[in-house]
Amino acid sequence: MNLVVDTSVWSLVLRRPHVEATHPFVQAFRFHINQENGIFLIGNILQELLDGVKNQRTFDNLVKILQPFPLLAVTRDTHISASLLRNTCRSKGIQSGPVDCLIAAACLEHGFPLLTTDCDFTYIVNHSDLVVLPVAS
């Protein structure tokens, strides 16, 4: 199975000083890695992970770690779909962010589920066909 891993999960796995191996999202990430599932990034997720890294060596190491994970293509149509999704959410009283809607639109366009700890995607799921992977607790 192919899936997109959101910044929130990557942060648990990579950027925390001490990875909590028993955290359900860390376990889910490792499960998908061990299953040799296709784990994808979106450019915005890659940028969020690299933003704010002050040490050049740490930055370069993070770039190297993330290199094997391919980027999903995001096109003009993806951005249009993200705007339509955001407009739909707004019409339902949901203030979803433009980056979250772009991530959701890319997942929908490619037919990939999303692994995320970000509760904002729960609201998007309620107004789209986005699939957010469940995590066993």
89-118 pLDDT tens trace: 999 999 899 999 999 999 999 999 999 999
Q: Tell me the pLDDT of the chain averaged across its residues.
A: 92
Residue 103 token pair: 């991530």
Q: How far apart are CA 57 and CA 85, in angstroms?
A: 38
Q: Where are the domains of the chain?
A: 2-66, 76-125
Residue 42 token pair: 């979106």
Of the candidates 33, 12, 32, the one whose C-alpha atom is nearest the C-alpha of residue 22 is 12
Chain Cα centroid distance, residue 9:
7
Contact between 13 and 48 under an 8 Å Cβ cutoff? The reply is no
Q: Tell me, what's the pLDDT at 84?
A: 97
Contact between 100 and 121 under an 8 Å Cβ cutoff? The reply is yes
Q: Where are the alpha helices (H) located in the chain, listed in sequence order?
A: 7-10, 24-34, 43-50, 56-66, 76-91, 98-110, 120-125
Whether the predicted pLDDT of 134 surpasses 90: no
Q: In what order do the strands lie in the sheet with 38-40?
A: 38-40, 2-5, 114-115
Whether the predicted pLDDT of 127 surpasses 60: yes
Angle at 72 between CA 50 and CA 110, to 5 degrees: 140
Tell me the pTM.
Answer: 0.91
